[in-house]
């Protein structure tokens, strides 16, 4: 398998990506944590005062939503240019090109893990506490990784041919943000649409994060299987598209 | 390089017996050159609305090229600009996929199409050595073992913690060459990168290449400098507009090249 053979390169590319990301700003990692916290504060103010949202622990509820959303948002937006941005590694030397996408997604994955790590003390401070259900967290996070990696493969390979994809994807992600239960509870979704609404794997993923972190309960096996199947399907489709488009990467970049 | 994943490693025993390091058979590669470059979804949609079918010209960069390079041989590829030398090198390196024909590589290959591929200006020289080493197929331990030698060869030991963006282009290339040379490949592909750095460093590189050659490695060299080709290569391939024109002993091929140039003025 290519990712075993090239694990050394994947590791080193991931680490350099993280180093560049956190070294270039003085506050480094603090920034990537301040961003979701500030967003949470603004949204908390708007939704709890203006819209009078009633939800226990609304601040934590939103923060979990925002932090989980950040992985797909940051992961896809940085990996979309992972091929074009490292063009010399495509045109001047042979390495499996998936290495470039995988290492970018892995770096976003690690950033996301760190953000969840900072969430842990907040869970205690804001009164939700921790429970053994947190042990289920890694499984959810790995399945989520599959989804993000699969989408990234599609985006990165299409971006070589269509350079306005970043703008299109930005808009789609903004729509996605409001089509997922991040800043509002699931109960506000009109029941007649709920069936379609639940088809969004992000909805299910965010709900599972809340189950294990906030509500201290096991997510339903059905939810988990649904996201797992979606994740694997997206990865297979992504690999197929990537493999087909990869052949002319070096000519198109 | 570990190229086994590409399925390009020669499995045929006869090549092993004949001692061929590189076998190229009937290689064809064409490029599509669109009349109008459409690089966005928007442009493609507009193009569809106008009804103009995707129109492009086909450039035949390589047409039925065949040759083989023996183990331990230094092989030159020469020809005028745009004759397909670089395309050939890129196909051998695995960067471009051929349309037709076969490429067989027996052994570990290191393409030097450009030095310092993948260098990160924001990282220190030390980090970049490890990064570049990994790109060229070395493990962390390999690089660790050879790190001092790399630093000694590039004469950059005292700058190892400096960020690469503060390096001069000469230092940059020295660091790259010193690292790349440590990969210990069986076959190296060189695209006129020998002219790097100042004179004394060039001399050092030349010596290193000579050392590699003497160690029985296979070298495929693409060059414009006929002097370099004459002094280094055992055999040569002459190309013109994607086709093989001559193949044989360096002196004969060079004579053919001179005749060709005289004819075309």
Angle at A101 between CA A95 and CA A105, to 5 degrees: 140
Instruction: Report d(CA B114, CA B192) in Å as an integer.
Output: 9
Mean pLDDT of B93-108: 91
Which residue in this structure is represented by tokens 């700003």? A25
φ/ψ region of A28 (left if φ > 0, alpha if ψ in -120 to 50, else beta) reads: left
The structural domain count of chain A equals: 1
Residue A193: band (very low, low, confident or very high) from pLDDT cuts 50, 70, 90: very high
Mean pLDDT of A194-223: 94
Q: What is the percent of chain A with per-residue pLDDT over 70, rounded to a whole number?
A: 96
Using alpha carbons, select from B247, B234, B240 the residue that is nearest to residue B24.
B247
In this prediction, residue A51 carries a pLDDT of 64
In this prediction, residue B15 carries a pLDDT of 56
Instruction: Report d(CA A252, CA A34) in Å as an integer.
Output: 39
> Which residue among B44, B114, B131 places its CB closest to the CB of A88?
B114
Spell out which residues of chain A touch residue B4, defining contact as CB-CB under 8 Å.
5
Name residues 75-114 of chain A within 8 A of B (Cβ). 86, 88-96
Spell out which residues of chain A touch residue B32, defining contact as CB-CB under 8 Å.
251
Taken in order B159, B163, B167, B169, the sign of the CA dihedral is positive
Residue B103: band (very low, low, confident or very high) from pLDDT cuts 50, 70, 90: very high
Q: Residue A101 is part of which domain span?
A: 2-252
Q: Could you tell me if B263 lies within 8 Å of chain A, comparing CB atoms?
A: no
Interface contact flag, B5 A5, Cβ < 8 Å = yes
User: Between the CA atoms of B240, B244, B247 and B251, what dihedral angle is there, to the nearest 10 degrees?
Assistant: 0
3-class DSSP state of B20: strand
In this prediction, residue A239 carries a pLDDT of 97
Mean pLDDT of B175-186: 87
| Residues written for chain B | 265
% helix, strand, coil for chain B, step of 5:
40, 25, 30
Identify from A3, A92, A158 which residue to disrupt to test chain B contact, counting B C-beta atoms within 10 A and taking the largest count.
Answer: A92
CA distance A248 to chain B (A): 7
Spell out which residues of chain A touch residue B122, defining contact as CB-CB under 8 Å.
19-20, 23-24
Q: Could you tell me if B97 lies within 8 Å of chain A, comparing CB atoms?
A: yes
| CATH of B4-108+222-263 given 3.40.50.300, 3.40.640.10, 3.20.20.370, 3.30.428.10 | 3.40.50.300
- In this structure, the number of other CB atoms found within 10 A of the CB of residue A222 comes to 9
In this prediction, residue B114 carries a pLDDT of 83
Instruction: Report d(CA B30, CA A206) in Å as an integer.
Output: 48
3-class DSSP state of B225: coil
The neighbouring-strand residues paired with A115 are: none
CA distance A28 to chain B (A): 14
Q: Could you tell me if A247 lies within 8 Å of chain B, comparing CB atoms?
A: yes
- In this structure, the number of other CB atoms found within 10 A of the CB of residue A56 comes to 11
Residue A126: band (very low, low, confident or very high) from pLDDT cuts 50, 70, 90: confident
Q: What is the percent of chain B with per-residue pLDDT over 90, rounded to a whole number?
A: 41
In this prediction, residue B265 carries a pLDDT of 65
In this prediction, residue B170 carries a pLDDT of 84
- Is the pLDDT at B3 greater than 60? The verdict is no
Mean pLDDT of B48-54: 66
Identify from B8, B38, B87, B95 which residue to disrupt to test chain A contact, counting A C-beta atoms within 10 A and taking the largest count.
Answer: B95
Interface contact flag, A94 B96, Cβ < 8 Å = no
In this prediction, residue B194 carries a pLDDT of 59
Using alpha carbons, select from B220, B226, B216, B19 the residue that is nearest to residue B111.
B220
Residue B16: band (very low, low, confident or very high) from pLDDT cuts 50, 70, 90: low
- Is the pLDDT at A113 greater than 90? The verdict is yes
What would the DSSP string read from start to end of chain A?
A: -HHHHTHHHHHHHHHHHHHHHHHSSSSTHHHHHHHHHHHHHHHHHIIIIIS----TTHHHHHHHHHHHHHHHHHHHHHHTTTTTTTHHHHHSS---THHHHHHHHHHHHHHHHHHHHHHHHHHHHTT----GGGGGHHHHHHHHHHHHHHHHHHHHHHHHH-TTHHHHHHHHHHHHHHHSTTSS-GGGS-HHHHHHHTT-HHHHHHHHHHIIIII-SPPPHHHHHHHHHHHHHHHHHHHHHHHHHHTTHHHH-
User: What rounded mean pLDDT belongs to chain A?
Assistant: 91
φ/ψ region of A57 (left if φ > 0, alpha if ψ in -120 to 50, else beta) reads: left
Identify from A28, A95, A163 which residue to disrupt to test chain B contact, counting B C-beta atoms within 10 A and taking the largest count.
Answer: A95
Q: What are the extents of the domains in chain B?
A: 4-108+222-263
The neighbouring-strand residues paired with B240 are: B243
For the segment B219-239, what is each residue's pLDDT rounded down to a tens digit? 998 888 888 888 889 999 999
Chains A & B: contacts with CB separation below 8 Å: 83
Structure tokens at A67: 């932090």
Of A57 and B238, more confident: B238
Identify from A18, A23, A90, A94 which residue to disrupt to test chain B contact, counting B C-beta atoms within 10 A and taking the largest count.
Answer: A94
Of B108 and A81, more confident: A81
Instruction: Report d(CA B191, CA A223) in Å as an integer.
Output: 55
Sheet of B187-191: strands edge to edge?
Answer: B109-112, B187-191, B218-222, B74-78, B235-240, B243-249
Element (H, E) at B220: strand B218-222
- Is the pLDDT at A166 greater than 80? The verdict is yes
Q: Could you tell me if B114 lies within 8 Å of chain A, comparing CB atoms?
A: yes
- Is the pLDDT at A243 greater than 60? The verdict is yes
Q: What is the percent of chain B with per-residue pLDDT over 70, rounded to a whole number?
A: 89
- Is the pLDDT at A244 greater than 50? The verdict is yes
> Which residue among A2, A24, A250 places its CB closest to the CB of B5?
A2
In this prediction, residue B203 carries a pLDDT of 81
Whether residue A5 contacts residue B134, with contact meaning beta carbons closer than 8 Å, is answered with no
Interface contact flag, A12 B140, Cβ < 8 Å = yes
In this prediction, residue B5 carries a pLDDT of 36
| Residue B159 DSSP label | G
């Amino acid at each position: 398998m290519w990712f075993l053979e090239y694990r050394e390169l994947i590791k080193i590319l991931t680490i350099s990506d993280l180093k560049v990301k956190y070294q270039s700003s003085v506050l480094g990692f603090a920034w990537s944590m301040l961003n979701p916290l500030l967003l949470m504060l603004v949204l908390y103010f708007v939704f709890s005062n203006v819209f009078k949202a009633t939800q226990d622990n609304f601040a934590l509820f939103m923060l979990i939503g925002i932090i989980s959303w950040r992985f797909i948002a940051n992961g896809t937006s940085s990996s979309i240019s992972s091929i074009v941005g490292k063009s010399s590694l495509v045109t001047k030397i042979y390495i499996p090109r998936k290495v470039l996408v995988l290492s970018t997604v892995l770096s976003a994955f690690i950033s996301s893990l760190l953000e969840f790590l900072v969430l842990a003390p907040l869970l205690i401070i804001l009164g939700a506490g921790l429970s053994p259900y947190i042990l289920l967290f890694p499984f959810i996070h790995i399945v989520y990784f599959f989804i993000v990696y699969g989408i990234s493969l599609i985006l990165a390979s299409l971006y070589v041919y269509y350079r306005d994809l970043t703008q299109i994807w930005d808009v789609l992600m903004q729509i996605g943000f409001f089509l997922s239960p991040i800043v509002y509870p699931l109960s506000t979704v009109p029941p007649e649409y709920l069936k379609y609404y639940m088809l969004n794997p992000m909805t299910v993923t965010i709900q599972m994060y809340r189950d294990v972190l906030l509500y201290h309960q096991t997510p339903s096996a059905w939810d988990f299987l649904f996201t797992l199947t979606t994740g694997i399907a997206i990865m297979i489709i992504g690999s197929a598209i990537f493999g087909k488009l990869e052949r002319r990467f070096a000519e198109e970049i | 390089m570990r190229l086994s994943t590409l399925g390009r490693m020669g499995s045929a025993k006869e090549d092993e017996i004949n001692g061929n390091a590189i076998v190229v058979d009937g290689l064809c590669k064409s490029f599509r050159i669109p009349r109008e470059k459409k690089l966005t979804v928007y442009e493609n949609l507009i193009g569809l609305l106008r009804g103009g079918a995707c129109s492009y010209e086909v450039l035949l960069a390589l047409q039925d090229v065949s040759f083989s390079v023996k183990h331990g041989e230094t092989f030159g590829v020469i020809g005028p600009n745009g004759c397909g030398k670089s395309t050939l090198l890129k196909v051998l390196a695995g960067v471009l996929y051929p349309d037709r024909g076969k490429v067989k590589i027996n052994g570990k290959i290191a393409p030097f199409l450009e030095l310092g591929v993948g260098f990160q200006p924001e990282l220190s020289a030390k980090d970049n050595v490890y990064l570049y080493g990994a790109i060229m197929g070395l493990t962390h331990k390999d690089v660790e073992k050879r790190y001092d030698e790399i630093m000694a060869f590039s004469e950059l030991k005292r700058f190892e913690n400096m960020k690469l963006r503060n390096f001069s282009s000469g230092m940059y290339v020295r660091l790259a060459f010193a690292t790349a040379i440590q990969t210990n490949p069986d076959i190296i592909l060189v695209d006129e990168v020998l002219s790097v750095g100042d004179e004394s460093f060039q001399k050092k590189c030349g010596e290193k290449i000579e050392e590699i050659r003497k160690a029985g490695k296979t070298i495929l060299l693409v060059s414009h400098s006929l002097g370099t080709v004459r002094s280094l290569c055992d055999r040569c391939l002459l190309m013109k507009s994607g086709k093989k024109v001559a193949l044989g002993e360096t002196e004969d091929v060079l004579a053919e090249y001179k005749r060709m140039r005289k004819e075309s003025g």
